Amino acid sequence: AQSVAQPEDQVNVAEGNPLTVKCTYSVSGNPYLFWYVQYPNRGLQFLLKYITGDNLVKGSYGFEAEFNKSQTSFHLKKPSALVSDSALYFCAVRDVGRDDKIIFGKGTRLHILP
Amino acid sequence: DAMVIQNPRYQVTQFGKPVTLSCSQTLNHNVMYWYQQKSSQAPKLLFHYYDKDFNNEADTPDNFQSRRPNTSFCFLDIRSPGLGDAAMYLCATSRDRGRVQGAYEQYFGPGTRLTVT
């Protein structure tokens, strides 16, 4: 069965520093991987995805993520954090060739400190 | 702008009183999803429609029903809300079409926060 893990409940980063939000996954086949962000009292907003091709994926608001097949990871990164990046981040995985279900991680709350 | 709209944004209902949440989309996506989200936890999929085909999750209580009268609209009916059903309910859509099924991201509405008194 497919699963996704976000090992950190919360990440604190000083403004201007690089940030990383971790995600690891488990699928039986090849994965489709997604990152979403959620601001308070809002729905989830798509940031980026890995389907195939280049392992480094660039997305919205300066975020990027690197697909690492050997480590089954898809960590979200940004070179320089902004206070406005403070939000709840969800990693999600879909098992290619399986049903339409997408599995979300439990979320990581990112705090950017001014 | 194309979007996913949920109404109302906040809904208060009484214990046991049926309630309907609505979702509409202007994206013309063929897949629509309903999620339940509690206290900043991961969204929990309740069911989804692939065109007119309804797909219920095995652990979704019978208390939750859904209707999709056309491509644009989808409704979530809670027949007898309990205190444990208080949550944020998220509607989402995706294009999921053709042989790259599953590769498309989901577009979420702003959610409806349901309070049960």
Q: Average the pLDDT over each of A93-102, B63-72, B103-112 and give the range with the smallest value.
A: A93-102
Cβ-defined contact of B40 to A107 (cutoff 8 Å): yes
How many Å separate Cα B63 from the centre of its chain?
Answer: 14
Of B6, B50, B109, the CB nearest to A100: B50
Look over chain A and give the mean of its residue pLDDT values, rounded to a whole number.
92
Residue found by looking up tokens 């029903």 in the block = B65
Q: Is residue A96 a contact partner of residue B102, using CB atoms and an 8 Å limit?
A: yes
Give the confidence band of B99 by pLDDT, cuts at 50, 70, 90.
Answer: very low
Which chain A residue has its CA at the smallest distance from B95's CA? A100
Average pLDDT over residues B63-71: 96
Reported as a single tens digit per residue, the pLDDT across A29-85 is: 888 999 999 998 888 999 999 988 899 999 999 999 999 999 999 999 999 999 999
Q: What is the pLDDT of residue B2?
A: 64
**Residue matched to tokens 């709209």:** B5
Q: Is A42 on the interface with B (CB under 8 A)?
A: yes
DSSP state of A61: G
Taking an 8 Å cut-off on Cβ atoms, the answer to whether A106 and B100 are in contact is no
Is B106 an 8 Å CB contact of chain A?
yes
Q: How far is it, in rounded angstroms, from Cα B100 to Cα A94?
A: 12
* pLDDT exceeds cutoff 80 at B101: no
Name the amino acid, one letter, at A7: P
Q: What percent of chain A has pLDDT over 90?
A: 78
Q: What is the pLDDT of residue A41?
A: 82
Parallel, antiparallel, or unpaired for β B53-56 and B44-50?
antiparallel
Segment B78-82 shows an average pLDDT of: 97
- Which residues from A are below 8 Å from B40, CB to CB? 38, 88, 107, 109
Q: What are the tens digits of pLDDT across the range A67-76?
A: 999 999 999 9
Q: What is the mean pLDDT of residues B67-96?
A: 95
**Nearest by CB: A43 against B40, B50, B110:** B110
Selected residue with higher pLDDT from B77 and B2 = B77
